[in-house]
Amino acid sequence: MSVANRPSNRPLSPHLQVYRLQLTSALSILHRATGIALSVGALYLATWVIYAASTPKAYAMFQEFNGSIVGRIVLGGWLFSAFYHLCNGIRHLFWDAGYGFELKDAYRSGWIVVGVSLVATALSWIVGLRLM
């Protein structure tokens, strides 16, 4: 067995199961989760454009799914994911530039992200459902 693979008796740092969920870690997990959702969502949007280039009948089929309960949840979920990932992504870019690392600032920016993304999501749902 190589040196690197040998089991170690050194203490391990506490992991997920030891910590109470905090705003900072919850938002970090949500950033990854919405990122995965948006990656799949991007394929869905590409499919939408491809259906629009197809026949009216095929497009009507796609639109029918969008109008269904499942379709509305997918599109509504896409909007929330997009707004959240966008706001928290900007928060990440500030960190990359070296700003906002103080605990107090990290919490404040976190709550701002929660607030802005929830308001944007609610607005988009209200306007979208009215136009539907």
Using CB under 8 A as the criterion, which residues of the chain lie in contact with another protein when the complex forms?
A: 2-4, 32, 35-36, 38-39, 42-43, 45-47, 49-50, 52-53, 56, 59-60, 63, 75, 79, 82-83, 86, 89-90, 92-93, 96, 124, 127-129, 131-132
> How does DSSP assign 64-109, residue by residue?
HHHHSHHHHHHHHHHHHHHHHHHHHHHHHHHHHTT---SHHHHHHH
Residue 31 tokens, joined: 């950033």
Rounded to a whole number of angstroms, the minimum distance from the CB of residue 54 to another protein is 8
Rounded to a whole number of angstroms, the minimum distance from the CB of residue 10 to another protein is 15
Of the candidates 73, 75, 50, 46, the one whose C-alpha atom is nearest the C-alpha of residue 61 is 50
In whole angstroms, give the CA distance from residue 12 to residue 19.
14
Q: Which is nearer to another protein, 60 or 119 (CB)?
A: 60
Q: Which is nearer to another protein, 12 or 53 (CB)?
A: 53
